[in-house]
């Protein structure tokens, strides 16, 4: 049974300005096994919204896709900077979303080898959730990127059932 944790989401009054960046990650303890995903959205005023989820039996790739899908669904209702990038360390997500899905659809959701596309349900949902001027950007995992490290921590915590505090509409510490 999927579990989703998130703080109060503040998209109605736009008090934090536009979204300036987003990041996603997935994790799995065993593959397949218990998995988690983490994501965050940053706003112009420094506010951050973090969220994540858990599934008992899944794969790392499914968790990567679920994180991106959740961010796209939230971004649909928020004002964004032009050409917003969702940062991810998943080349599977980037290649699938930007290239492979077009061919899969033309081939009736079959791969180049004629096999059924894995995670078709999530790929179809991602394809339907595409937003104009929102793309994906690769960031090397575990390379010190602050947002990538944070969403990795969220995803791993959820996958291992470790308690984690998620930020909700908090501002940078150096702001008044």
Catalytic, out of 16, 26, 36, 55: 26
Note if 25 is an active site residue.
Answer: yes
Catalytic, out of 50, 55, 89, 147: 89
Contact 42, 9 (CB under 8 A): no
Note if 145 is an active site residue.
Answer: no
Catalytic, out of 25, 49, 50, 55: 25
Note if 26 is an active site residue.
Answer: yes
Which H or E run includes 75? helix 60-75
Q: How far apart are the first and last CA of the chain?
A: 41
Note if 147 is an active site residue.
Answer: no
Note if 89 is an active site residue.
Answer: yes
Contact 141, 29 (CB under 8 A): no
User: Would you say how long the chain is, in residues?
Assistant: 176
Q: Which two tokens stand for residue 85?
A: 């990038």
Catalytic, out of 35, 64, 96, 147: 64
Note if 152 is an active site residue.
Answer: yes
Catalytic residues: 25-26, 64, 89, 142, 152
């Amino acid at each position: 049974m999927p579990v989703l944790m998130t703080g109060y989401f503040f998209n109605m009054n736009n008090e934090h300005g536009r979204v300036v960046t987003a990041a996603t990650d997935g994790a799995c303890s065993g593959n397949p096994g218990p998995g988690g995903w983490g994501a965050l959205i940053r706003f112009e005023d420094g506010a951050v919204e973090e969220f994540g989820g858990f599934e008992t039996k899944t794969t790392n790739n499914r968790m990567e896709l679920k994180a991106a899908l959740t961010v796209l669904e939230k971004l649909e209702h928020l004002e964004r900077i032009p050409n917003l990038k969702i940062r991810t360390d998943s080349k599977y997500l980037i290649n699938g979303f930007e290239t492979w899905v077009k061919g899969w659809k033309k081939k009736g959701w079959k791969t180049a080898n004629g096999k059924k596309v894995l995670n078709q349900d999530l790929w179809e949902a991602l394809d339907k959730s595409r937003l104009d001027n929102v793309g994906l950007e690769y960031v090397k995992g575990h390379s010190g990127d602050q947002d990538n490290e944070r969403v990795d921590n969220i995803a791993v915590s959820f996958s291992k059932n470790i308690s984690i505090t998620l930020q909700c509409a908090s501002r940078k510490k150096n702001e008044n």
